[in-house]
Amino acid sequence: MPELAKSLQKVENKYLKTIGNNKIRLFNEEFSKYPGTIKLVVGEPDFNTPEHVKDAAIKSIQENYSHYSPQKGFDGLLKAISHYLNSRYDLNYDPESEIIVTVGATEAIYVSVASIINVGDKVIIPTPAFSFYASTVKALGGIPVEVDVTDNDFKITGERLKKVIAEEGEDSVKAIILNFPSNPTGVAYNKEEIEDIANVVRGKSMYVICDEIYSELVYDVKHVPFASVLPEQTILINGVSKSHSMTGYRIGYIAAPAAFVAEADKLHAFTTTAASNPAQFGAQEALENGLDDPIETRKVYKQRRDYLVKELNDIGYKTLNPQGAFYVFPRIPDSFGMDSESFARKLAKDARVGVIPGSIFGKGGDKYFRISYAVSMDDLKEAVSRIRKFTENFEKITN
């Protein structure tokens, strides 16, 4: 096998060097070495893609849609996205000029950030947050400004945002990235909270990049898109991965003002050309005829959430009741006296339960750990039983 030439060892992207590997996947692999481990690790639905969606994708193959699709996506899917956003949230986006179909929400995030920042520009990220946001900003030569919001139920306020912008310099801050419902906390913003943030951003030279991929997985509340209060400065990112259990199809989208989309589409063309044809037809079917598909999955996720929150709090892990997604973010009791990575490794080794340490999600996360409840109720119950026993044993040893 070839080894990299010595003459090339210093030929590298210096910004990429500041980014580590995907730690969630690394921990997932590490926990696999312990036989019988229940892994509450990966943020992926445990349901299968609806049959009618699969049929639509298969039909497109049979009808020989095997050539390049239009760069922004097929007209049918673009119109389906536009109609969905209008009928669901009363948002108005022109399918021809204000929407791009991307290869998952991941590409949408990358393209959005890359279309905005130059080297040295700053992007505000309330944390704990999905680590991909900060990594993307770093890879592009930007500066992620992580703002620990654990003291306010994991939400940033307009007042706090205003202070951060002033501290960092308004001219250097180009965007704020919001994700709600949130990975890893599951919190969602209501309209009043969104308006509070929008009032600070409005008129400033900065975008609001909103990753709303979990918008269909909300409990007890109604999802309110950020674009409903500040469409002229919002880059809305969504997709069908979580709502319709289509993570492997890799279909996301950007909806934003036409002037931004025109620029972002250039980068989209350079990176992926276009999304997969069968996946686009599947996504179109999901949005046109599958809006009720998430109803049953929401019910199941809510049952799991309710069970986990009650049990974890009972054991002694302070756990906020999430309003969406399929994660809980419990606080590690101070009695453990260890950081989140040490805790996660000990839990996996001693109790055979895999969780993700909160430190992965940025500032403020190190006192917490993330549990994905996208697993069966039987697995959750067994995991809770093991966590309870693990905690009791630890308390006996330390007391």
DSSP string, 54-94: HHHHHHHHHTT--SPPPTT--HHHHHHHHHHHHHHH-----
Please tell me the predicted confidence (pLDDT) of residue 18: 86
What are the residue boundaries of the structural domains of the chain, listed by start? 6-48+294-398, 65-290
Please give the average per-residue pLDDT across 352-377, as a whole number. 97
Proportion of the chain above pLDDT 90, given as a percent: 92
Q: Is 38 helix (H, G, I), strand (E, B) or coil?
A: strand
Which option is the CATH number for 6-48+294-398: 3.50.50.60, 3.90.1150.10, 1.10.1070.11, 3.40.50.300?
3.90.1150.10
Residues 6+ apart with CB under 8 A from 171: 205
* Unique residue bearing structure tokens 């989140």: 340
Please give the average per-residue pLDDT across 355-382, as a whole number. 97
For 209, the enclosing helix (H) or strand (E) is strand 207-211
Helix locations, the chain, DSSP H: 23-31, 51-62, 75-89, 104-114, 132-139, 158-168, 191-201, 258-271, 277-289, 293-315, 340-351, 377-398
Q: Which of 21-25, 103-107, 129-133, 315-319 is predicted with the least confidence, judged by mean pLDDT?
A: 21-25
Please give the average per-residue pLDDT across 286-308, as a whole number. 97
Tokens of 288: 């046109």
| Angle, CA of 363, 326 and 113, to the nearest 5° | 50
Please tell me the predicted confidence (pLDDT) of residue 332: 98
Q: How confident is the model at residue 21 (pLDDT cuts 50, 70, 90)?
A: confident
Q: How confident is the model at residue 22 (pLDDT cuts 50, 70, 90)?
A: confident
Please tell me the predicted confidence (pLDDT) of residue 399: 62
- Which CATH fold topology does 65-290 show? Aspartate Aminotransferase; domain 2 (3.40.640)
Q: How many CB atoms lie within 10 A of CB 33?
A: 9
Name the average pLDDT for the chain: 97
Q: Is 0.85 topped by the overall pTM? A: yes
What's the alpha-carbon Rg for the chain, to the nearest Å? 21
What is the per-residue DSSP string for 265-293? HHHHHHHTSS--HHHHHHHHHHHHH-TTH
For residue 341, pLDDT beyond 70: yes
Taking the C-alpha atoms of residue 243 and residue 39, their distance in angstroms, rounded to an integer, is: 22
What is the per-residue DSSP string for 156-188? --HHHHHHHHHHH-TTTEEEEEEESS-TTT---
Please give the average per-residue pLDDT across 323-352, as a whole number. 97
pLDDT digits (tens, 9 = 90+) for 204-262: 999 999 999 999 999 989 999 999 999 999 999 999 999 999 999 999 999 999 999 99
For CA atoms 97, 99, 101, 105, the dihedral sign is positive
Please tell me the predicted confidence (pLDDT) of residue 391: 98
Residues 6+ apart with CB under 8 A from 375: 38, 39, 40, 46, 383
pLDDT digits (tens, 9 = 90+) for 28-55: 899 999 999 999 998 899 999 999 999 9
Please tell me the predicted confidence (pLDDT) of residue 63: 98
Is the omega angle on the peptide bond into residue 225 within 30 degrees of 0, that is, cis?
no
